Amino acid sequence: MEEDAAIKLSKHVSFESEDSNGRCPICLGSLLQISYLDKCLHKFCFNCILRWTKVVAAKHRSAPSSVKCPLCKTENFSIIFGVEGSCIQRHYVNKDLEDSFILSKAHRYRLQCYYTEQGFLDDIFNISQYWKFRKFCQPNCWLQTWLTREIQALIQEEDVDIIVHHILGVVKALWTRRGQKAHADAPEKKQEEFKMSVSEAARRFLGARTDRFVYEIQLFLASGLNIEAYDGVYIQRLGWSSPGVNTEVSQSDLIDRTTVIPYLYIFDNDSDGNE
């Protein structure tokens, strides 16, 4: 590691506030294997910021040599870690990138749903009634699995556990609070709180897809169905074939049934013109 970076880091660490909350800005949990971006020196869990660099790299045709900090947007070239041990180490963002995640038929089906007109299932799954009749007091036990598939499809990464854990934690906290005061708040207020909280939790990962993602969560919860039954209703309304393992569905078959060809990269609001 270069001497100037080491000196800069040592000075930064020595002047850090002792009463820091010790939370990672990405997973919002306690910092595990503390690491720093080399230019702005913002602090993250090593695995969280490493995963972030890989998600960002997925929007480029070739591996980028730098990554923007998720907090301040400063360009950084490496992750500095090992500061708690005897040997400070550096990981460059353009090295050791994993192979791209291959979308399954089910992932492609869910991704294409985001390019259909919103609201075409509202006559089957009534989101307003979900809130009006306090159905949120009965959490959907399939939500975690559904979220995992949804986010994998949207960001085209297999390892989305951190993101799912973060969003699911927000949802469960809202369920708990609403259950305690279910009769106190108007349904519209409950729904707006849900939309704002989930949007805030998801936007750093999903960018321009966030608003539709929040709608899709509500639609799935309002259905009260397991994933297989929900997919069956969704696909039947769309006029598509099942994305299941035993059904032969090509990507061109799906694209032919929608008016918009999905652009698979996700950071629409932060494009640098390389895609």
Q: Which pLDDT tens digit goes with each residue over 167-226?
A: 999 998 887 765 555 556 688 888 999 999 999 999 888 888 899 999 999 999 999 999
Weakest-pLDDT range from 38-42, 102-106, 223-227, 266-270: 266-270
| pLDDT confidence of residue 6 | 47
Weakest-pLDDT range from 89-93, 216-220, 254-258: 254-258
| Radius of gyration for the chain, computed over Cα atoms and rounded to the nearest angstrom | 21
Cα separation, 164 vs 235, in Å, equals 24
Residue 143 token pair? 């939500």
Secondary structure (3-state) at 30: strand
What integer best gives the mean pLDDT of the chain?
75
| pLDDT confidence of residue 183 | 56
Asked if pLDDT for residue 146 goes beyond 90, the answer is: yes
| pLDDT confidence of residue 3 | 44
Burial label for 48, CB within 10 Å (0-12, 13-18, 19+), is: buried
Amino acid at the residue 252 = S
Asked if pLDDT for residue 99 goes beyond 90, the answer is: no
Burial label for 96, CB within 10 Å (0-12, 13-18, 19+), is: exposed
How many Cβ atoms are within 10 Å of 93's Cβ, its own excluded? 24
Q: What is the pTM of this model?
A: 0.55
| pLDDT confidence of residue 230 | 94
Q: Which of 162, 184, 214, 228 is nearest to 27 (CA)?
A: 162
| pLDDT confidence of residue 88 | 66
Burial label for 73, CB within 10 Å (0-12, 13-18, 19+), is: exposed
Q: Which of 55-59, 87-91, 180-184, 215-219 has the highest mean pLDDT?
A: 215-219
Q: Which of 109, 103, 45, 114 is nearest to 79 (CA)?
A: 45
